[in-house]
Amino acid sequence: MSTPPASRRVALLTLGCARNEVDSEELAGRLADGGWELTDADDGAEVIVVNTCGFVEQAKKDSIDTLLAAADTGAKVVAVGCMAERYGAQLAESLPEASAVLGFDAYPDLAERLGDVVAGHAVASHTPVDRRTLLPITPVERQDSDVAVPGHAWGPRVLRKRLDDSPVASLKIASGCDRRCSFCAIPSFRGSFVSRRPDEIVAEARWLAEQGVRELVLVSENSTSYGKDLGPSGALEPLLARLGAVPGIDRVRVSYLQPAETKPSLVAAIATTPGVAAYFDMSFQHASEPVLRRMRRFGNTESFLDLVKRIREHAPDAGIRSNVIVGFPGETDADVDELARFLTEARLDAVGVFGYSDEDGTEAEGLPGKLPADVIAARVARISELAEELTAQRAEDRVGDEVVVLVERAESDEDDCAGRAAHQAPEVDGECVLVDGDIAATGLSVGDLVVGEVVDSEGVDLIVRARALVPRT
């Protein structure tokens, strides 16, 4: 096969969350379908597309740094993703190194837009709007809209291209969010909540299985809302059952659950459906009721502890993780004490601790009671230390348990053989380091599924003695 001309070679760089990673694989599929060859940024790419993140200040800085570094290669640079969608022409004006700044509406025609860039034609910068205004207020009317939503409306075929050979892949089940958390700007640039249709999701799951994927991570901005715009037949529980039965898929994991929307039937479905990991990624954010109300969220310590109790009644070994924000405007020492009480009693498996920072255009940006940076830093340190101690204890409690580990790193001169059990999500929850047992860890390959016994722990990581391989379904 002849090598395509340099003007049709493109590289994709991705920053941010798993949702962005899925979007990049969609863009890769669209570009390949449009005649572009995917290559590395340093391997003769004529254009480098940077899928930016615009969630918090550090993510924005990382996106800018990546765009500038891409420009230094001599290739033309195109910014897409959340930061490009959120700031559009403003970003283009402040970053002349970028040949184009394109929003989500450009995704279906990205192959053509890159052709314009290579040809030297001026490409108009994206003009940001609040994407919530583009869709009907009533959720059930959104399915018929022609508004571009990344990862939706691909038609009868899967328009996606894997950008790695990992045995784990994220699968988007919805986009956007109808919640109005006072600290979060995501709905303004991701738009209102829209579910993907179940048949389309299952078809993509089957395609991913054909690519060698054994674990699916279901992603969205709010997975607990799935199906509210589809009617009763589109609920998350039956979708989980269908995905858990896809041949070749051994584990389905749900992420981004809202505690206030997590019904008992969903708890039971995640905890007991064959093929679905008993894993609960709960967006608690805090536990003090006054802080949660200022965040425009619901719940308190007692309701959250009751949810944790119900989860563990169904599945005592279930993994439960959350993120919390400290230093929110008006937060008191007593509020932090209440958060510490919740974490101590809940004994979660993983906790991400973040200090509050203002986000452009959010309600919280204008709230009174802003705390000094040193106070926020001290509270982050306190809760982080507590969370580290508690999650290490939770991991230690698993010594003696049997776990099933998906191998994601084979043993080499530099690395141990390691992977994740059902209670551990990719990148954020620790890992299982496999050691020789009834079978040798040195003989395991990426993508193997291994039954093992937890023999020790190191922080949130587990040391697992390998016992047997699980055959592929």
- Residues that constitute the known binding site for [4Fe-4S] cluster: 17, 53, 82, 177, 181, 184
Pairing mode, strands 100-101 and 76-80: parallel
CA dist 38 and 185 (Å) reads 32
Q: Record the tokens describing residue 29, joined without a space.
A: 């599929």
Q: Where are the beta strands (DSSP E) in 90-157?
A: 100-101
- Hey, what amino acid is at 39? T
CA dist 294 and 313 (Å) reads 31
DSSP assignment of 147-182 equals: ---TT----SS-----SS--SEEEEE-EE------T
Q: In the chain, what is the straight-line distance between the N-terminal and C-terminal CA atoms, in Å?
A: 35
CA dist 31 and 26 (Å) reads 9
**Binding-site residue set:** 17, 53, 82, 177, 181, 184
Contact 464, 454 (CB under 8 A): yes
Pairing mode, strands 47-52 and 76-80: parallel
Contact 379, 336 (CB under 8 A): yes
Contact 225, 178 (CB under 8 A): yes
139 backbone dihedrals φ, ψ, rounded to 5°: -55, -40
Pairing mode, strands 461-470 and 449-458: antiparallel
Contact 462, 456 (CB under 8 A): yes
Q: In what order do the strands lie in the sheet with 279-281?
A: 279-281, 319-326, 350-355
CA dist 472 and 249 (Å) reads 9
SS3 16: coil
Q: Taking each helix axis as running N to C, give the angle between helix 373-396 and helix 333-346, from 0 to 180 degrees, rounded to the nearest 10.
A: 10
CA dist 307 and 257 (Å) reads 12
Task: Give the other-Cβ count within 10 Å of 79's Cβ.
Answer: 31
